[in-house]
Structure 1
Amino acid sequence: MTRLLVECTHVFKHPTVNSGIQRVVRNVIKQLPASAEDVECMPVILIGGGLYQVKRLAPLKSLKLDLIGLRVKLEQWASAFWLRHRALERRRPFSQSHFARRVLYVGCRLTAFACFSLPMRLLGRALKGKQIPERCVPLQHRAGDQLVLLDSSWHSDFFAHVERLKRDGVGVIAVIYDLIPLTHPQFYNTRLVEVFSEWFDWITRTADGYMAISATVRDQVREELQRRIGAEQTDKRWFDFFHLGSELDLHNSHATVEPRLKSLFATPEPVLLMVSTIEPRKNHAYLLDAFERAWAAGSTARLCIAGRVGWKCEALLARVRNHPELNQRLFMFNDLSDTSLEHAYAHASALVFPSFVEGFGLPLVEAMQRGLPAMGSDIAVFREIGGEFMAYFDLADPQSLTDLVTDMERSEVFPAPLGLEQWRWLSWREASAQLVERIERNVNPSAVGPQSQHAHCP
């Protein structure tokens, strides 16, 4: 029997983070198929040089002070603090005076040391020797096990441990969400690009197989390996993909919807929804350009931007906050719960997604699975996911999106060739089963039956 050790270390350590990869990891782990005759699936983490089987991914409810959680919060607050420092540096008088910038930097360093660095060091000492949480148990690996690196492992410290497992006969499978830090480094901070590139160098040397989240990314990964190590070495690895599910697993029907969001949908004018982290790759500036043209032409459509604040977005946030249509025809929410997001999907007129580049585009599937039609950038992966069920616009011309919005508003007909009544997509249970089936198909080709359907057709 093959044991699939599905790694989820980052989500285990940071259970409250709810962005794209964390959502995927949490849902795949939750829906891993029960052990069958030929394969056994178990979630695992790699901490402190040890391998542990996860018994519970969500944190235990406890009245005790959560020191690990507190340290994570301090790290998040410190990151936000230094983002604010960088924004202040660009303003007067700091932008015009080296002395003023120096004073600002020294003041911020002292503040950060007192408020963040020192408490984190003290917490580190308090947590020393207590890195094995109650939610997991030690696990002994075996030759023939397959370690599936499902989580975002590029910032992890377990590379040497994985290499030891590989020397002991454990197969290594890398789940690749995208190669965007390599192909479009301008969208990220320099350090993240360096870290991701170092990780990809490591995973190129270490992995036996690669599971992407779309056929588009699978092909990109194969091409990147051919470029780095040549066709002969690339042919010794295997490449496949699975598609993601669509349910919002943290939705709670008894939770309260954000009141300001609820009031947005209380009037009949159409609302177009954008769901994503606020960062340059998502192309929010294009979105504003297109809607400003629509509003200038008399459109009453409203734009609702939902997503946490990310990086390199100070100018975009300033544009939104100073926009004359803010809270009139332009709305932004940076901390919506899954319950509020479910409400937005249920009541919006369409989803709009102008991203420059994606590995998958999870909000598109989340929206369309709920009957909300979607407009997206005319890029390959969106065509793979949406087919003729979506409407597409040209990223070189904001007017193409403006025309889609105004035509839909005028005709009350969504401009896609096929209606969503024919749409079907995978559940997270089916997505997890597909992941396991395709890994097993590549690891043990003779032991696998027919593969599951992945397309969006009925």
Structure 2
Amino acid sequence: MMRLLVECTYVFEHPHMNSGIQRVVRNVIGHLESVNSDAECIPVVFFRGRMYRVLHLAPPHGTKEPWHSRMKTVLERMRNYYWLKHSRLERRWPMSHSHNARRALYVLAKLAGLAISVPLRAVMYASRNYVVPDRMEPLDVLPGDQLLLLDSSWHADFFPVAERLKAQGVGLISVIYDLIPCTHPQFCDASLVKVFDVWFDWIAEKADGFICISTTIRDQVRAEIVRRRGEHAARQLWFEHFYLGSELDLVHDRSALDGALVRMFDEGDPVYLMVSTIEPRKNHAYLLDAFERLWAQGSQARLCIIGRIGWKCDALIERIQSHPQLNQRLFMFNKLNDRGLEYAYAHARALVFPSFVEGFGLPLVEAMQRQLPVMASDIPVFREVGGDFVAYFDLKRPETLAALVQEYESTGRFPAARSVADWRWLGWRDASQQLVSRVLHALKRRREVSREVEMS
């Protein structure tokens, strides 16, 4: 029987991370045992140059992570917050008008930052001697195994291991969530752009096939392979897609609801949600522009931003935190758990999603699956996923979103061609089944084509 080795290294090492890719990995791994296929599906991780079978993706509830892992998380958050404050100071007088003042501030900040960077380096060094956790066991590969890179593998340093596995007859398949660092580098951290570009060059040469999270991304990946390696190389590979599920898997009855969130909804005025990491491509500034128009016209509609603070968003965060409507008609929650997110989806008026570019748009599906209508930017992948059930607005004109909100509030009818009540989507179990089935079908088709070529 063929073995499908599903890689989940980053989520294994960071079990409490809960952004888009981590949610996908966690849910797919959680449903592998229920997948009906001719292959044995095995979750695996890379650790110190070896492959291991995953026995438990996350520690048992209540189990503490090693001290160095906990300390590393705390110190990284402190570092990010520290440099966020530094970037804000840079925009103030006299730094905003003097290169020498900015330089002096940076030198002082760098010296003061040693209080964080030195302990962080020490913790990272200590983690090198970390004993292999009991959540995994060694796994030897067999010729014919297929390694499916499900996780954000550009974070991992396993190129030599993967190349060794290929030399042993293991196939290599990559899940691609998007190509945003390549196609829209202006929205990404410079270090991610560089790392992702190196990784994609490597995966474009080493992978046997790609499975993407939408047909939009599938077509983009093939075009990028053609651009980098040529049409002939692209024809030797296969390209497929699958769709993501919609359940929030970390909804626990024991997790606490944020009191401020509950009070916001209890006040009664309609609340429009934005659910996403706060970063440039998510286009939160567009939302503020649109809702400021509404508030100037006397609208009682409120905007609630849910998501952790990401990168390149200092000016936006400062705009939100100093906004005259903050905690009146404008709200922000940066550390909401899944129970709180579920509560928000259940009580909101609509989801507003103004992204410039996406690989899929998981909050869109999460909202619509809960019968929450969606207003979204008119981009190809949203059309693919939302179809006529979504109300679309023009990214160049915030007034088009304001007009949709006004129409909804005044008529009570959501301004989409079809009702969200008629929309249906697959859950994570079906998404996992679709992923495995389409990978196996693509592999079978590729083997058949190879045999036909050999016989001709």
SS at match of 1:31: helix
Separation of aligned partners in 2, 1:300 and 1:124: 49
Counterpart CA distance in 2 for 1:446 and 1:384 is 27
* TM-score (normalised: structure 1): 0.93
Deviation at residue 77 of structure 1 after TM alignment? 2.5
1:417 Cα shift? Answer: 1.4
Q: Which residue of 2 aligns with 1:74?
A: 75
Give CA-to-partner distance per residue, 1:109-145, whole Å, 9 cap, x none.
2333233x33233334433332522210000011111
Distance 1:438 1:65 in 2: 38
Matched with 2:121 is 121
Q: Which moved more, 1:76-85 or 1:202-211?
A: 76-85
Other structure's SS at 1:287 match: helix
Q: Deviations over 1:146-204 (max 9, x none)?
A: 11111111121111111111111111111100011111111112221111111111111
- Does the aligned pair in 1 maintain the 2:10–2:153 contact within 8 Å? yes
Alignment correspondent of 2:253: 253
1:314 aligns with 2:330: no
1:92 and 2:93 matched: yes
1:188 aligned onto 2:188: yes
Secondary structure at 2:230 match in 1:
helix
Change over 3 Å in CA distance of 1:147–1:63 after alignment to 2: closer
In the superposition, relative to structure 1, how do residues 424 and 127 fare at CA in structure 2: closer, same or farther (>3 Å)? same
The reply to whether residue 276 of structure 1 matches residue 249 of structure 2 is no
- Counterpart position of 1:434: 434
Q: CA deviation at 1:68?
A: 2.4
Q: Which residue identity is paired with 2:145?
A: D
- Residue of structure 2 in register with 1:243 after alignment: 243
1:274 is aligned with what amino acid?
Answer: M
1:147 lines up with 2:158 in the alignment:
no
Structure having the larger proportion of residues in helix: 2
Unpaired runs of 5+ in structure 2?
A: 449-456
Residue in structure 1 matched with residue 336 of structure 2 by the alignment:
336
Q: CA 1:133–1:111 in structure 2 vs 1: closer, same or farther (change >3 Å)? A: farther
Determine if contact 1:33/1:429 at 8 Å carries over to the other structure. no
Checking the alignment, whether the CA contact within 8 Å between 1:34 and 1:41 is kept in structure 2 is no
SS in 2 for 1:392: strand
Counterpart amino acid of 1:106? Answer: V
Could you tell me which residue of structure 1 aligns to residue 452 of structure 2? none
Q: For 2:392, what is the secondary structure of its paired residue?
A: strand
Q: Is the 8 A contact 2:353 2:364 kept in 1?
A: yes
State whether residues 47 and 131 of structure 1, in contact with CA within 8 Å, keep that contact through their aligned partners in structure 2: no
Question: 1:446 deviation in Å?
Answer: 9.4
Identity %, equivalent residues: 57
Aligned position for 2:417? 417
> Residues 227, 131 of structure 1: CA spacing in aligned structure 2 closer, same or farther, 3 A cutoff?
farther
Q: Does 1:230 align with 2:230?
A: yes
One-letter code aligned to 1:82: W
Paired residues of 1:48 and 1:131 also in contact (CA < 8 A): no
CA distance in 1, matches of 2:123, 2:309: 27
- Cα deviation digits, residues 33-58 of structure 1 (max 9, x gap): 44756201111101110100111111
| Structure 2 letter corresponding to 1:154 | W
- Are the equivalent residues in 1 in contact too, given 2:279–2:311 (CA < 8 A)? yes
Question: Alpha-carbon deviation of 1:78?
Answer: 2.0
In structure 2, how many angstroms separate the alpha carbons of the residues matched to 1:82 and 1:274?
26
Q: Helix, strand or coil: the match of 1:304?
A: strand
